[in-house]
Amino acid sequence: MINTVHIPILVEPIIDALLAPLRALSEEADPQWLVDCTLGGGGHTAALLAALASDPKLRRHKLLSIDRDPSAIARAAERFETELSAGRLEIVHSPFGSAADLVRSRPVAGLMADLGFSSDQMNDPARGFSFQTEGPLDMRLDPSRGQSAREFLSRIPERELEEVLSKYGEERFSRRIAGAIVEHRRKHGPPSTTRELSDVVVRAVPPNMRHGRIHAATRTFQAIRIAVNEELEELDCLLKRVILGVKPGGRVAILSFHSLEDRMVKHAFRSAPFKPLHKKPIEADDEEVRRNPRARSAKLRIAERQPDESAGEPNGGAS
């Protein structure tokens, strides 16, 4: 068995939200699909499969799980071999922003996305996501495609890098850090490891800001990772195209971990044809944060797809 150390976040409210449309179906209704757009460590997929299997009335429904990370796909193929063989689960290697056709091609009653990174990715030095351990400066969710973080930093002009750090990292010292990275590139070449980049960033910020509650390189790493993986562009596709494949009466649940993502989700859920089910995002309670500190910054928003009045769809839910 390929092990995972990832702990899924806010599982219960996600399960409750996505199963509600299925429970409202009549027994004569056709089987429906749930979609996990971010398979990752497989935590939410496992919970959804268990919830469907535990209720005789829900066992006929199926799950589609998507991920752009080949290692996540490989782990899940082994972990869920039984469910895959039984036809209860389908796994697809794809960026979630490109999944519109996958969703539209089947009756989908519920869809979720966890926009955070799995612990499996963060804890693997070879992936280059974390400055906590030394590793190659890669940061790609799919290492087989696109440019690595090192390649990104080898080409980007200083002014554009400053904008990336400011926009995606909300970094107040973006100009100083961008200048330091470009100067390091001129003298030594672009940073090639996580620690090398982290050291450049730490030296660039004022001395009194180097040892705060948040590591000085946190926002820079976030910004570069978002740019390398085009994460906000992917999220924009998810919100403008993919979730429109959910049937009227169906639910969409999205977990975000920083303000840029949460603002985009909040706006999408307040726009037709969706209606948010809660005024404020759901957050992890103290007990969950104690068990999993990464849950501290999670915000869960849930919305319901409304009937398309122009198409004359009835108010009958996802049946």
Show contacts of 137-144: CB within 8 Å, 24+ apart: 137/190, 137/191, 137/192, 137/193, 137/194, 137/196, 137/197, 139/221, 139/224, 139/225, 139/228, 139/229, 140/228, 140/229, 141/68, 141/69, 141/229, 142/68, 142/69, 142/70, 142/95, 143/70, 144/70
Query: Residue range 302-318: average pLDDT?
Result: 66
Question: Among 199, 214, 230, where does a domain finish?
Answer: 230
Helix (H, G, I), strand (E, B) or coil at 163: helix
Q: Distances from the Cα of 289 to the Cαs of 7, 8, 285, 295, in angstroms?
A: 11, 12, 6, 5
Q: Report the DSSP beta bridge partners of residue 36.
A: 65, 112
Average pLDDT, the chain: 93
Residues 239 and 285 in one domain: yes
Residues 113 and 15 in one domain: yes
As a whole-number percent, the residues of the chain with pLDDT over 90 amount to: 85
- Taking only the tens place, the pLDDT of each residue in 48-101 is 999 999 999 999 999 999 999 999 999 999 999 999 999 999 999 999 999 999
Q: What CATH number is given to the structural domain containing 238?
A: 3.40.50.150
> What is the tally of structural domains in the chain?
2
Q: pLDDT band at residue 4, thresholds of 50, 70 and 90? A: low
- Taking only the tens place, the pLDDT of each residue in 36-48 is 999 999 999 999 9
Contact 140, 229 (CB under 8 A): yes
265 within some domain:
yes
- Taking only the tens place, the pLDDT of each residue in 13-43 is 999 999 999 999 998 899 999 999 999 999 9
Instruction: Give the list of residues 6+ apart from residue 33 with CB closer than 8 angstroms, or none.
Output: 61, 62, 63, 64, 106, 107, 108, 109
Least confident of 3-7, 161-165, 236-240, 263-267: 3-7
Q: What CATH number is given to the structural domain containing 156?
A: 1.10.150.170
224 within some domain:
yes
223 within some domain:
yes
Residues 174 and 107 in one domain: no
Per-residue pLDDT at 313 exceeds 90: no
Question: Among 230, 248, 275, where does a domain finish?
Answer: 230
Question: Among 214, 230, 246, where does a domain finish?
Answer: 230
Give the pLDDT score at 121.
78
Per-residue pLDDT at 316 exceeds 70: no
Per-residue pLDDT at 124 exceeds 80: yes
192 within some domain:
yes
Per-residue pLDDT at 317 exceeds 50: no
Residues 15 and 104 in one domain: yes
Determine the structural domain holding residue 131 and report its residue range.
127-230
Residues 111 and 185 in one domain: no
Enter the pTM of the model: 0.91
